C-alpha cells in the first residue's frame, strides 16, 4: 500500500473532500457559540440597570456614563449598566411605539428616554409610571417627583398628559398624570447619541421597579447632564 503523500493525492483530497472539511469547521464554530451562550455568566436583571433611549449610540459617551453610574451613583449591589439606542427617528410613530412596547412587555429597561410622540402614546395607554404616585413602601409616602430636585429649566407640569385606565367593570377612566420629565434642555443627552429636542425621561410601569436606583440616576442626570461634555474615545 502506497502511503506516501504526494501533490496529486493532496489535490485529489482537496477536490473531493473540501466541502466536508468546511462543514466540519462550520459545525465546530456553531457548537462553540452555542456552548458559550449556554454557559456564559449572566447578570440577573435585579443587579443591572438598563437605560433605553430613542437615539443612536455614542460609544465614548456611553463608556463615560457607565463608568460614572457604576462608580458613584448606583447602589453597591449593581453589577452592570446597559445603555442602548433604538434609533426611533427612523420609524413612524406606530412602529416606534411598537418597538418600545416590545421592551416594556419583556420588562427590559429601567429608565426610558423617548421622543414626546412615543411618550405620549405609551403614557395615554397607562404603560408608564405616574411620577406623582407614592413609591410603594416608602416610609414618608413620597413619590419619585418628591425625591427629585429639579433645575429651574425643567417644570414638572410640562409632560402632564391624559391617561386612560381600563377599570374592572370594563369602563374607562381618564386622569391627568405626570408620567415623564421634559428633557429638551438636557444637552448632556447628546453625549450618548440623543438629540434632546422633544425628549422625555420616563419610568416603565412594571410590577417590580428599582425605585432607589431610578431616583439616583435621574438626579445624577439633572445635576450633571444639563450641559454637553465632549468625550474622547476612551470615555474621558
Q: Does pLDDT of 11 surpass 50?
A: yes
In order of 88, 107, 154, 180, the CA distances from 99 in angstroms are 8, 13, 27, 19
Q: Residue 236: inside a domain, yes or no?
A: no
Q: Residue 229: inside a domain, yes or no?
A: no
Residues 36 and 152 in one domain: no
Q: How many domains does the chain have?
A: 2
pLDDT of residue 199: 95
Q: What is the pTM of this model?
A: 0.79
In order of 33, 47, 135, 193, the CA distances from 207 in angstroms are 34, 17, 12, 30
Residues 83 and 122 in one domain: yes
Distance, CA of 141 to CA of 147 (rounded, Å): 10
Least confident of 4-13, 138-147, 195-204: 4-13
Q: Residue 230: inside a domain, yes or no?
A: no
Cell reading at 97: 411605539
Residues 63 and 148 in one domain: yes
Domain of residue 188 covers 45-224
Q: Residue 174: inside a domain, yes or no?
A: yes
Q: Does pLDDT of 234 surpass 80?
A: no
Q: Residue 231: inside a domain, yes or no?
A: no
Residues 32 and 57 in one domain: no
Q: Does pLDDT of 219 surpass 90?
A: yes
DSSP-derived secondary structure for 128-183:
B--TTSBPTT-TT--BHHHH----TT--GGGGEEEEEEE-TTS-EEEEEEE-EEE-
Segment 24-32 mean pLDDT = 60
Q: Residue 61: inside a domain, yes or no?
A: yes
Q: Residue 232: inside a domain, yes or no?
A: no
Q: Residue 12: inside a domain, yes or no?
A: yes
Tens digit of pLDDT for each residue in 133-185?
Answer: 999 999 999 999 999 999 999 999 999 988 887 778 878 888 999 999 999 99
Residues 204 and 169 in one domain: yes
Higher pLDDT, 93 or 25: 93
Tens digit of pLDDT for each residue in 42-79?
Answer: 555 678 999 999 998 888 999 999 999 999 999 999 99
pLDDT of residue 20: 65
Q: Is 142 exposed, middle or buried (0-12, 13-18, 19+ CB in 10 A)?
A: middle
Residues 15 and 99 in one domain: no
Residues 69 and 105 in one domain: yes
Residues 143 and 95 in one domain: yes
Cell reading at 131: 411620577
Residues 25 and 51 in one domain: no
In order of 8, 10, 218, the CA distances from 186 in angstroms are 71, 66, 11
Residues 102 and 164 in one domain: yes
Tens digit of pLDDT for each residue in 99-128?
Answer: 999 999 999 899 999 999 999 999 888 889
Amino acid at each position: 500500500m502506497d502511503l506516501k503523500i504526494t501533490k496529486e493525492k493532496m489535490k485529489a483530497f482537496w477536490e473531493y473532500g473540501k466541502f466536508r472539511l468546511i462543514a466540519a469547521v462550520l459545525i465546530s464554530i456553531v457548537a462553540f457559540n452555542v456552548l458559550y451562550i449556554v454557559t456564559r455568566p449572566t447578570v440577573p436583571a435585579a443587579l443591572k440597570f438598563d437605560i433605553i433611549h430613542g437615539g443612536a449610540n455614542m460609544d465614548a459617551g456611553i463608556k463615560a456614563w457607565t463608568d460614572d453610574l457604576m462608580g458613584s451613583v448606583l447602589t453597591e449591589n449593581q453589577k452592570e449598566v446597559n445603555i442602548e439606542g433604538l434609533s426611533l427617528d427612523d420609524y413612524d410613530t406606530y412602529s416606534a411605539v411598537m418597538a418600545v412596547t416590545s421592551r416594556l412587555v419583556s420588562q427590559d429597561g429601567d429608565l426610558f428616554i423617548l421622543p414626546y410622540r412615543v411618550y405620549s402614546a405609551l403614557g395615554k395607554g397607562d404603560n408608564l409610571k405616574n411620577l406623582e404616585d407614592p413609591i410603594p413602601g416608602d416610609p414618608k409616602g413620597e413619590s419619585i417627583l418628591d425625591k427629585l430636585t429639579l433645575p429651574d429649566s425643567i417644570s414638572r407640569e410640562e409632560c402632564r398628559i391624559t391617561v386612560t385606565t381600563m377599570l374592572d367593570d370594563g369602563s374607562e377612566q381618564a386622569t391627568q398624570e405626570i408620567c415623564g420629565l421634559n428633557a429638551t434642555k438636557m444637552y448632556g443627552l447628546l453625549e450618548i447619541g440623543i438629540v434632546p429636542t422633544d425628549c422625555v425621561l420616563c419610568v416603565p410601569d412594571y410590577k417590580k421597579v428599582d425605585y432607589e436606583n431610578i431616583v439616583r440616576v435621574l438626579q445624577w442626570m439633572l445635576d450633571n447632564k444639563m450641559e454637553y461634555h465632549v468625550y474622547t474615545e476612551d470615555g474621558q
